[in-house]
Structure 1
Amino acid sequence: MTDPVVTDPPPPEARGPRRHKLHPGIRLGGLAVAMVTAFVIVAVSGSLSADRVRDWIDGFGAAGPIVFIVVSTVLSCAFFPGPLLAGASGLLFGTALGTPVAIVAATLSAMAACSLSRWVAGDAVQKIGGRRVKAMAGFVERRGFLSVLYIRLLPGVPYTLFNYAAGLTRVSLVAFTLATAIGGAPRTFAYVALGGSFGDFGRPETIVAVALLVAMAIGGIVVVRFTRFGPGRGSSSPDGRSAGLP
């Protein structure tokens, strides 16, 4: 009786199709690209205009602000510019109602991004953001609530990226949310007021909004320079570098 012929297992390539697990960065990036692409297609097609959006929102009646908050939250998580969303809130609902609507939307989007990073896609955020995200996370880790409040008051910060970076830290979601709502309220009001007065920029709220943005920009520059180059915090020293913004 002949011994059975023992053959080596086939190589992985010959075992049939394998189910590859997508890189988390690809999943997160693909979601963002799909959402932004859909918006761009609608905008370029000409089917998106202020009147059409107003009609669409009006069709929801009293639930219109809630619908806007949901849509704005999703778009913001996909890196859609926050100032445009806040301006749209003012254009649709006016300054009085648009301001709290935009603040709620911005706060919820920050919470969502932080939560996604913390519990779902932290590995993707680290790989996509790289050293910049790590620096932001370190800044938040050292100062907690005050660091989030500080960042919200500064101009020119990539806020959505900061939201994802905050999810990599041990800062509580409650502290992060509270600091976001407080620190982001002044700038959100300014953008809402500009959107609400679109076409009539001589209105008092427009003047206040512009003055507020200018004052916050100047104040932010002064604070950043003091933080990085102030007494005992020279940029050439390790302490100075760690005290500065990411």
Structure 2
Amino acid sequence: MRRHPLASSAGLLALGLLVLLGVAFMPTPEIETVRRQVADSGVWGPATYLALMVGTTQVPVPRTIWTVSAGVIFGSLIGCLLAIGGMALSAALSMMVVRWMAGPAVRRAEDNDRVRLVQEILSERGWTTVLGLRMIPVIPFSLLNYACGLSRIPMLPCLAATVAGSIPLTVVAVVAADAVVADGDPRVVLIGVVVGLTGLVIAGREVLGIQRQLASQGPTVDRNR
């Protein structure tokens, strides 16, 4: 049976909350000790974090792991900057690699009228669709990067929508992780639920719009073949 996207999002948010609570109560080294050691490493700490995050998120590894880690290790401010910067670098790298490797195949596929129509619709509506999808935590980060890379959405608008759509949940996750390990208020996670639901509404509206355009233009395309 097919699960509703809202149920999947709620399940993922609940899992993230359980991870945060687990981090708070598991027997681990004092967080201040870990943060002091990372600070003593100078620029190597943030550089290592960025390299590992960008490298591992080129494959379907949950980005949430790195987002939460940023809050735990670096705190709210530096953690947000690193998580957002790493996310932008990872998305840019993925899209450039996919466009370089798969570009010729995509251009050949556009000989099909239906494929060309989908590409044209995505080019027209693309950045708002990307914006909404980036706000839904259940959609894998790397897979959406691949999809953006295969589309004809210009790189800069696509990256801008990626950053704008990812910032709310990223900030919530980093601040929540910092709050939990630093004995703060973990109720900030509830904000993530609101952001996720907002993303579902935006993305759902865009998907319905694309489906309506396909339904209205599809018969015309078929007749012209």
- Distance change >3 Å, CA 199–CA 56, structure 1 → 2: closer
TM-score normalized with structure 1 length: 0.60
Residue in structure 1 matching 2:187, options 180, 204, 207:
207
Displacement, 1:115? 0.8
Give the helix-richer structure, 1 or 2: 2
CA contact (8 A) 2:66 2:83 kept: yes
Residue in structure 2 matching 1:77, options 58, 61, 66:
58
In the other structure, the counterpart of 1:172 is 154
Displacement, 1:188? 0.6
TM-score normalized with structure 2 length: 0.64
Residue in structure 2 matching 1:144, options 126, 130, 135:
126
Q: Which has the larger radius of gyration?
A: 1
Aligned length, in residue pairs: 179
Aligned-partner Cα distance in 2 for 1:188–1:111: 17
CA contact (8 A) 1:140 1:148 kept: no
Q: Does residue 1:238 correspond to 2:204, yes or no?
A: no
In the other structure, the counterpart of 1:190 is 172
Question: Which ranges of structure 2 fall in alignment gaps of 5 or more residues?
Answer: 1-27, 107-114, 219-225
Displacement, 1:156? 1.6
After superposition, what is the alpha-carbon deviation per residue over 1:21-74, rounded to whole angstroms, capped at 9, x for unaligned?
A: xxxxxxxxxxxxxxxxxxxxxxxxxxxx87797687456313321221111000
Percent of aligned positions that are identical: 27
CA contact (8 A) 1:140 1:169 kept: yes
Displacement, 1:214? 1.2
- Distance change >3 Å, CA 79–CA 196, structure 1 → 2: same
Q: Does residue 1:100 correspond to 2:81, yes or no?
A: yes
Q: Which has the higher contact order (CA 8 A, sep 6+)?
A: 2
Displacement, 1:212? 1.7
Aligned-partner Cα distance in 1 for 2:57–2:124: 26
Aligned-partner Cα distance in 1 for 2:36–2:217: 53
Aligned-partner Cα distance in 2 for 1:107–1:116: 14
For the aligned residue pairs, the C-alpha RMSD in angstroms reads 3.6
Aligned AA for 2:168?
Answer: P
